[in-house]
């Protein structure tokens, strides 16, 4: 599979499983994202140049929102001190 190529399967229950290749193969599972919606993103090559490649929308969403997976990561990103975070976790 070439860079920016992807394959997917959808179960009868509506769960999508996707395999996408950036530099390495990345696997995703979702019951929210439609696997055939793609977006263009820029990736940096080894020589430092930027290349526009196609990726499923789940990849773009993951990269945009992955910093807020847990409460501590979210609170840290908005500037709440670590000693205050113990109250929320």
DSSP structural state of residue 66: G
What are the CA-CA distances from residue 3 to residues 9, 19, 36, 42 (Å)?
19, 11, 17, 12
**Interval 39-52: pLDDT, tens:** 888 888 889 899 89
Tell me what pLDDT residue 68 has: 56
Q: Which residues contact 89 (CB under 8 A, 6 or more apart)?
A: 71, 72
Note if the pTM is more than 0.85. no
Q: What is the mean pLDDT of residues 35-39?
A: 86
Evaluate if residue 30 carries a pLDDT over 80: yes
Domain ranges of the chain: 6-81
Most confident of 26-30, 63-67, 70-74: 26-30
Mean pLDDT of the chain: 81
């Amino acid at each position: 599979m070439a860079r920016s190529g992807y394959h997917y399967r959808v179960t009868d229950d509506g769960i999508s499983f996707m395999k996408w290749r950036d530099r390495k193969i990345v696997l995703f599972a979702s019951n929210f994202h439609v696997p055939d919606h793609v977006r263009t993103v820029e990736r940096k090559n080894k020589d430092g140049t930027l290349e526009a490649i196609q990726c499923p929308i789940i990849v773009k969403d993951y990269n945009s929102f992955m910093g807020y997976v847990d409460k501590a990561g979210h609170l840290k990103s908005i500037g709440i001190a670590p000693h205050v975070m113990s109250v929320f976790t």
